Structure 1
């Protein structure tokens, strides 16, 4: 067991895999239940989009809008929101950051809930502060987020009472305001770094002449440090008023009851007389191109972007919906081209994209962006502009449009199929947008029908025509950012402007593509068979043993209509390779997958999978090798075929490999300029004690990667699959799956090789470690504290360790945030590992001001000592139990929970009957058990503390 294990590899893979297109199709709009059938002429372009009949929209006499919808996903839960059409853009000069500060004060005393009693109450009913209960403030709005259970009396009433207090009864107690200054400043401090410094240089250019350039929601520290009730109350009284508020209530509750609660809670609020005008800040237009060039010593890479600003618009008619569709198709096709280019080593960027969105309420944008290879910023800009110009001159191919249409329609089809399974939170987001921006909410039944009607009418010519409006100079902004380092040239404005002229004068050929024809699997294997079947009725679990020895477990569920998830594994993994090959092994599946499968390159494979919702990926972890996949029920066979190909027909592609190495190199080249990366490496290397299997990733290590050797490792790990176990969970029909298992899993190679993992990793650290890392220039500090030990594993001990961690997190949050105002958040994670050794660890993490690092650590030690000496209170025990019970209640309605839980039991040889024993463990949790566990695990026998501080001046 180790802290930060493989974090760098995971980040490396995540960044580089973002450049490849996936086979998954998703709709951009959430699903709803069917509305009334649309009339024949409802798809006329001038027709207003209807309102989904499943949502009730009303307005109280005082002007407060409300949205109510019954939705039972998840069951016995409701999502409540108070939406205030006011954000930081409306702050007076002495209020910079106070719109956001008010959001904090809402949880620190209202007329019905003293201090932070609302937080304690909601935690007592299973709602976690931060993770569930929260709020956010943006430029233009503030939203209070309250997800609550609906199966106990009084919860909805208290929840609405709190939201009503936010509107009319925040106390702004001066003592609480002073105490909260430190918390808000800590949140400001958390945002510091290269990204923040870059934003501060770019925003004044992007928003030139606009109030948005100087009204970031986090505000100014000099104002936050002196915040007092008067300006807070002034903003609250000016803008928290009925004509600027909406209440959204979606969930498993009686709509009539919800409406009655809304009326009784908010109906008595008087309209504000003589209120300040709620103006919409403009983003001024400009005729010439604006340029921002920014450098920073902590930037890890170079990037360039071109954006065109335009007036914000909303989707209200069928014509608007069709225009949105055209733009979506355009971006899909251009992004697919960028993805293909990123797979070629000669391309100057490692990744690029095109897209649009809403900057702020009054302005939207369209942008082209690229992550450039070091030293190739201007070449990347030229490549971006060349592709946009290629589309303007020659357009897209008919085949490209056909694929984009197919994927788009499939996304809407999936959303329609899941219309009864859509989570309440998705509806909430739609209704908030309707209130704030007037976006239509027709519902998925109408949208799916509209797509079926509109997509066939879209021609390649009209999609191509969009390109003409995306090359002009008006309202154009170019942003360039790069590391501040010796030898790296910073381009000038003239250099950038010259690229535009160069592209305009260039000869650009039409896009050419090739498509590999034929079946996904050239030749199907000989069919195997299921030789035995068992049932575990309590879990609705079927077990098949195949003719090659593979075990297959299947659990059908009805949680989602359009999802099947799969995992397959066998013990061994990287633990069976030599120390010198660990790095190659950690990246082997990423490298080989980039080559495609069978007869298909990754580019051709993506085209082949058009309209399919199916994927399968090989995985080699420390202790096992395996495969993971997911599919729509209608594409189950495609997932099975991909699984067969991943395991038997991996494909090497030297060009794709070279391009991937270049992408890795760009990620690693400037890694040591990033304080967080240096801190992570220090923690990892210190705990590993110099073990050869744990090394900080560097660009130099890339020289060790050899495609042939990585292919050999890959093939060896999947050469003999007779000891594999597969598990399927989701909307799966056994009668459909069984012949597919016999066709694609039963023929997998099996020669009797039986393996298990080896214990070859670093041993548990011992004693006390204190290490300080000085890196970065921002005035911020991060602390990580680890406690660990060896102990026999049991399910109850693992549960008690986790529960102690939850109590500790509550106490530390109360002490470090609420009492001391020293941090914005605290995390405590606890884990009891069984393999390769039985060990436990508990990790505490938090940020603070650098000059508070030692006093905060002293406070942590006091809380650790207190929890060792004094048993948790009855209220603390109940809060932990209720949160665990509520989370388990939700988890059991998710396919992912069953996939991971059943796999864990099978992988460790446990009795499947132990699934479900969490309930009695939770019910039997006592203060005495927690006290004993705290004494056992909150020990400093093995304790490591790592502190990240700014560089010394």
Structure 2
């Protein structure tokens, strides 16, 4: 039911206003902002060296076409086990709508969940919830400009589940009912989805799309559509769209999972072989984006925008990757973008940088158009300098090219990325394969498999020359088909350039002479002074958890859980008590920013830029943090780079850097966002919630310019050194693909030698408490006709595994009931989220949060509906079928989570930090099996106290319906 985040062009263009790189990695076919093309699936075929040879298809994929034109892509994959990922892919999206259907491609998607031949009304959702598939999180769909995709992940461990799932796919393909009553009911849900997207980004997009897509139907076919069409939707136009485009020759089934492909193929033929298209098939057109000889410029300001940005788009025909030569070209593109992005990042680290962030990318725009883009997030009043800077860097490459050393680093980085993907070829998630094969159907690009890709990358990358990469920029950056999109806060309008000033910047760049790029690269070792190793002084095991524990000679505790979930993944977290609670209120700002400030300075002998170059090809990270009650290190990486991970961890303690230039650069980067932060209704609302729930405590303040100004570099550095100056009370947890024997010499060399003074300290309770009683607060901010409501029930509790599970179960149950009530029955909201948690430190307390969006005039009545559902739960009106749905969904989630390294790291660390026995994790399944309606009733009575909650409502500044 989602249009973003998988909507290609909406994702692509949303970043214009947000100041982020437009081309998200998930939608870039060639080169992303900082990475490489996502390598395809597993086992491939032997490589061929003929450049014109077509890229082969992965033999592990069973692909075919039925006589009626329906295509299918099937693969066996056991991660996760006893699951299959199903997709129905329709090669039709909003760009194919007729004038009276604007928004009905997306509305059609909604209606397929509201009545089909086999499943009436909401029965699809209800059935899938009963087998553990959660609506929204698992079961979903999205509509883009060019396609509609239905997402159905299902378990396969019980008879009939797979067959019934194919019943659903078949009904989606040709069994929709479009009942008039259901259409009327769904209008409200779709309108609320439209409403939820309103804001500065949408208003800027609406100004820019007519220019960016000038002369194309894309300019007027945004998938969410027009509210007047949605309000008046009837079955007729919906059925016409469904009849025209949901036909066998325009659809595909993708199925990947723990199932024999032969069985999947039989089901495809059984369910889709008899489908027939309409008697008169409507041709599926390719919608073009017309070329433009002269530059198109769009400039949009908005009172709620938080930062200025400038994006230059160069339109190109689709660069489809179908031959070996195409594949090589895509690798060259990855190298170009990697190197230019490294240069832009280096500039952004300077105190006098002309932009806060900048990036280069090439990828898919819409079906018939690719784009190369340069983008920069501008400082206040600095749009022209930011534009000049990104054009200057492109010009520098054009005139002088990249350095051989840059190409070598880029080659190393790209190759290492593919190498790691190859190492994980037997551990790839089914969802990754499915996404790939969806793209294969929609674009026609083959899926050769990671084995083929890795061999080609090994063979082709060393043959790429600097001159070849340099020449690519000249093909991407052209005088024709150029579009410039600028956005800025309205309060900065006086400094926003007009079109002549923008075009003048291009003329100046075209005639500019720039100096060559130079660099100094250190060949010094990452750790110059290697300390004498310490040793393991005690060892124990927790057999039930598969955990080994060491105590090191300096007091550090190491907890290890080896797994086989991934072939090349290690995750780590280390912590000790204290945090910012141990500094004075006067030093709080410096403590909050201490790790950010210090890490921006680099590490050991290397500044941030030097460190980035030093670590090229290394898949390892170790980032310091200082929280309210603890400080620690979070990181991980490749098993191959374990020593680098340990060295980085060591340096975080032993060799932090104080860099005044990096601190100044950081302040310069965030200042433009802070200057306009109060423009955002969402930011103002969040700040109000924070301040109110902490009763104005000085340590619970929004991140503002005032807080930034209070931070002092020297104090931040001293606080960091103090917090990480004694590791004797640190605990480190490692989870992943390693053995204790591999870790032991590394732990003795790099963790047992961390500085230790054996001081005794803990965290301090600084007295932050929520307000008592009932709080009802309204915030008026923003111009759009929408409301956001946040309800927080809270209070003291006994911290225990039983309490935590009761809150989880209550939240899951309530979210399901509220979606049924507020969305499906009342049509008052697009989504409702409910979350419950208990915390032990600094004092045991709980909270249950409920969030939803709506029309301003319905916020109060929907809250009353929430209270009615809560009261019904307290009264024990809980259907056993709903309890079973909660149990089933939690059990299915747990089955998958237990095969994830992140699950074990987070839960072992949390229990140790809360001084609990981590073996309590093994009781969780018993909690799920034992869940009853009586427990949910008791939890509602305990945790949803009508005398202890806060309700916050964000409303527009002017009254709206």
Same fold (TM over 0.5): yes
Which piece of structure 1 moves more, 390-399 or 570-579? 570-579
How much has 1:17 moved relative to structure 2? 13
Matches within 5 A, 1:9-24: none
How much has 1:662 moved relative to structure 2? 0.9
2:589, 2:640 → 1: CA distance? Answer: 38
SS in 2 for 1:442: coil
Matched, 1:79 2:85: yes
Contact in 1 for aligned 2:41/2:447 (Cα 8 Å): no
How much has 1:31 moved relative to structure 2? 4.6
Matched, 1:36 2:45: yes
Contact in 2 for aligned 1:26/1:414 (Cα 8 Å): no
Matched, 1:402 2:411: no
Contact in 1 for aligned 2:568/2:639 (Cα 8 Å): yes
SS in 1 for 2:357: strand
Q: Which of 858, 874, 881 does residue 868 from structure 1 map onto? A: 874
Which piece of structure 1 moves more, 305-314 or 671-680? 305-314
SS in 2 for 1:845: strand
Q: Which of 299, 302, 309 does residue 303 from structure 1 map onto? A: 309
Match of 1:255 in 2: 261
Which piece of structure 1 moves more, 855-864 or 225-234? 855-864
Q: Which of 793, 804, 811 does residue 810 from structure 2 map onto? A: 804
1:306, 1:25 → 2: CA distance? Answer: 18
Matched, 1:196 2:205: no
Match of 2:927 in 1: 921
1:454, 1:254 → 2: CA distance? Answer: 35
What does the per-residue CA deviation read over 1:360-382, in whole Å, with 9 as the maximum and x for residues that have no partner? 10111000000000111101110
How much has 1:27 moved relative to structure 2? 5.0
Matched, 1:494 2:503: no
2:176, 2:658 → 1: CA distance? Answer: 63
CA distance 1:326–1:16, change in 2 (3 Å)? closer
1:208, 1:487 → 2: CA distance? Answer: 24
Q: Using structure 2 for the length normalisation, give the TM-score.
A: 0.96
Matches within 5 A, 1:264-279: 264-279=270-285
Matches within 5 A, 1:783-932: 783-932=789-938
What does the per-residue CA deviation read over 1:505-551, in whole Å, with 9 as the maximum and x for residues that have no partner? 32200001111221100110111000111111221111111111111
Contact in 1 for aligned 2:36/2:334 (Cα 8 Å): no
How much has 1:696 moved relative to structure 2? 2.3
How much has 1:313 moved relative to structure 2? 3.0
Which piece of structure 1 moves more, 463-472 or 942-951? 463-472
CA distance 1:213–1:155, change in 2 (3 Å)? same
5+ residue gaps, structure 1: 1-13, 19-23
What does the per-residue CA deviation read over 1:248-283, in whole Å, with 9 as the maximum and x for residues that have no partner? 000001212111111111111123321111001011
Which piece of structure 1 moves more, 889-898 or 577-586? 577-586
Contact in 2 for aligned 1:35/1:52 (Cα 8 Å): yes
Match of 1:614 in 2: 620
Matches within 5 A, 1:203-242: 203-242=209-248
What does the per-residue CA deviation read over 1:96-139, in whole Å, with 9 as the maximum and x for residues that have no partner? 00000011011111110111111011111111100110000001
CA distance 1:639–1:695, change in 2 (3 Å)? same
1:16, 1:217 → 2: CA distance? Answer: 22
Matched, 1:512 2:518: yes
Matched residue count = 933
Matched, 1:710 2:719: no
Match of 1:453 in 2: 459
SS in 2 for 1:802: helix
Match of 1:64 in 2: 70
Over aligned residues, Cα RMSD in angstroms?
A: 1.6
How much has 1:944 moved relative to structure 2? 0.7
SS in 2 for 1:485: helix
Q: Which of 612, 633, 657 does residue 651 from structure 1 map onto? A: 657
SS in 1 for 2:478: coil
1:517, 1:634 → 2: CA distance? Answer: 21
2:427, 2:184 → 1: CA distance? Answer: 45
CA distance 1:670–1:54, change in 2 (3 Å)? same
Which piece of structure 1 moves more, 665-674 or 581-590? 581-590
Contact in 1 for aligned 2:839/2:845 (Cα 8 Å): yes
2:389, 2:39 → 1: CA distance? Answer: 35
Match of 2:479 in 1: 473
Q: Which of 108, 124, 131 does residue 125 from structure 1 map onto? A: 131
Q: Using structure 1 for the length normalisation, give the TM-score.
A: 0.96
SS in 1 for 2:843: coil
2:149, 2:826 → 1: CA distance? Answer: 26
SS in 1 for 2:725: coil
5+ residue gaps, structure 2: 1-17, 23-32
Matched, 1:345 2:360: no
SS in 1 for 2:735: strand
CA distance 1:891–1:454, change in 2 (3 Å)? same
Q: Which of 145, 149, 153 does residue 143 from structure 1 map onto? A: 149
Which piece of structure 1 moves more, 467-476 or 677-686? 467-476
Contact in 2 for aligned 1:186/1:824 (Cα 8 Å): yes
1:800, 1:482 → 2: CA distance? Answer: 47
How much has 1:469 moved relative to structure 2? 2.2
Q: Which of 725, 731, 737 does residue 731 from structure 1 map onto? A: 737
Which piece of structure 1 moves more, 847-856 or 469-478? 469-478
SS in 2 for 1:519: coil
1:273, 1:887 → 2: CA distance? Answer: 45
Match of 2:119 in 1: 113
CA distance 1:27–1:379, change in 2 (3 Å)? closer
2:799, 2:914 → 1: CA distance? Answer: 12
How much has 1:348 moved relative to structure 2? 1.3
Match of 1:629 in 2: 635
Match of 2:14 in 1: none
How much has 1:930 moved relative to structure 2? 1.2
Matches within 5 A, 1:295-334: 295-334=301-340
Contact in 2 for aligned 1:302/1:482 (Cα 8 Å): yes
What does the per-residue CA deviation read over 1:283-303, in whole Å, with 9 as the maximum and x for residues that have no partner? 101111000011101100001
CA distance 1:908–1:15, change in 2 (3 Å)? farther
How much has 1:934 moved relative to structure 2? 1.1
Contact in 1 for aligned 2:568/2:737 (Cα 8 Å): yes
CA distance 1:686–1:239, change in 2 (3 Å)? same
